[in-house]
Amino acid sequence: MRTQVAIVGGGPAGLLLSRLLHRQGIASVVLEGRDRAYVEHRQRAGMLEQGTTDVLRGCGAGERLDREGLVHHGLELRFGGAGHRIPLTDLTGRTVTVYAQTEIVKDLVALRLADGGDVRFGARAVEIDPSGPSVTYRQDGRTHTLDCDYIAGCDGFHGVGRPAVPGVRTFSREYPFAWLGILADVPPSTGELIYAHHDRGFALHSLRSPAVSRLYLQVAPDEEIAAWPDARIWDELAVRLGTGDGWTLDEGPITDRSITPMRSFVAEPMRHDRLFLAGDAAHIVPPTGAKGLNLAVSDVTVLARALTERYASGSEALLDSYSATCLRRVWRAEHFSYWMTTLLHTDPQADDFARRLQRSHLDYVASSPAAAVSLAENYTGLPLT
């Protein structure tokens, strides 16, 4: 079996790449280890940069996004019991959109299958040969080989793509906390996202729709989900999000819950021979800056453009600059995500001096137009280069 581009991983990065290539007449096969229902229901990201929605729209995946996505013009920083609005659109001219990763994945799977795309679920890659180039995978208890011109390693943090880059250099940071995330059937108690700093830890009030809320709590990295019955979750959210002005948090049935460790991670380079890494396979950011999915989209946009040029003109110039082009944006997002994380979380190891500095930093971001512009331009996303 042979194709032009073998795509390992059917998350947002792999599925979008396959769609972008199809629009340019380039054939691909997507190998996804899990089944379709699993990838369509894995609760993750929700906040999309304008550049991300532009790419989705541009490749014909924007119909439901335009109908159901919630366009936001600002966010709230909450600390010391008071809210401070950052007017993202006034400061940058750009918006962000709440539309769940699960819905993007559903839209892309449906589009690929409708246009005859080859997406194989339950097909787990076991070995990548970047020079063959080829991918060996297991499906239905049998081993198969897929030969190709190029391989896209879009198989996430635990995949087989990154280990197939010899001499890969990695950079990482672990944080002394994790996020407990819930999905709840209750109308959001806020119109815009609330990022709250509290002595007991960070909390985030996000949303999915006018009827569904998404909320997060900073917890210890080794926290057990069993230690958090519903009442404890709601009580803790109410305390950390609480203000002195009578604002209340509405509660509802919790339909999904999970604990996610927080880490920063970058692998360099993002290419070896005919293998190109994209998305979480190459880098991880802590979710505070809402950058992970957006970076996956910008990586595959750059890769699709480079492959398009290669097939149209024979030139490998854009493929040769792929890793450097992506890493420039990746490191900006890494810094911003680290910055937002340390600004808003409560470090259990911090001394009183560090806590005072953190509070001064929050005051500065909430009161200085220059600091707010810096937050806003990073949050809404810098232009794709």
Q: Catalytic residue numbers?
A: 72, 195, 287, 291, 379
Region binding ligand RFL by CB under 6 A among candidate stretches 44-52, 163-171, 330-338, 356-364: 44-52
Region binding ligand RFL by CB under 6 A among candidate stretches 20-28, 45-53, 113-121, 184-192: 45-53
Q: Show the tokens assigned to 169.
A: 């250099």
User: 33 vs 83, which CB is nearer to ligand RFL?
Assistant: 33
Question: In Å, what is the CA distance from 364 to each residue of 200, 335, 353, 359?
Answer: 21, 18, 17, 9
Region binding ligand PHB by CB under 6 A among candidate stretches 43-51, 58-66, 141-149, 323-331: 43-51
The secondary element (H helix, E strand) that includes residue 79 is strand 75-79
Residue 378 found at the interface with ligand PHB (CB under 6 A): no
User: 3 vs 337, which CB is nearer to ligand PHB?
Assistant: 337
**Which entry of ligand RFL, ligand PHB, none binds 83, CB below 5 to 8 A by partner kind?**
none
Q: Are strands 70-72 and 96-98 parallel, antiparallel or unpaired?
A: antiparallel
Helix extents (H) in the chain: 12-23, 36-41, 50-58, 63-68, 88-92, 101-114, 230-241, 292-313, 317-320, 322-344, 352-367, 369-380
**Which entry of ligand RFL, ligand PHB, none binds 288, CB below 5 to 8 A by partner kind?**
ligand PHB
Size of the site for ligand RFL (CB under 6 A): 36
User: 123 vs 182, which CB is nearer to ligand PHB?
Assistant: 182
Residues 274-313, mask of contacts with ligand PHB (x by CB under 6 A): -------------xx-x-----------------------
How far apart CA 181 and CA 169 sit, in angstroms, is 31
Residue 112 found at the interface with ligand PHB (CB under 6 A): no
Q: For ligand PHB, which residue of 8, 45, 61, 278 counts as binding (CB under 6 A)?
A: 45
- Give the footprint of ligand RFL on residues 265-294 (CB under 6 A): 279-280, 287, 290-294
The residues, any chain, with a CB within 8 Å of residue 112's CB and separated by 6 or more, are 15, 18, 19, 22, 30, 119
Quick one: 200 exposed, middle or buried, by C-beta within 10 A (0-12, 13-18, 19+)? exposed
Question: In Å, what is the CA distance from 168 to each residue of 148, 276, 322?
Answer: 23, 12, 16
Residue 21 found at the interface with ligand PHB (CB under 6 A): no
Given a contact cutoff of 8 angstroms between Cβ atoms, the answer to whether 343 and 361 are in contact is yes
Which residues lie near ligand PHB (CB under 6 A)?
A: 45-47, 193, 206, 214, 287-288, 290
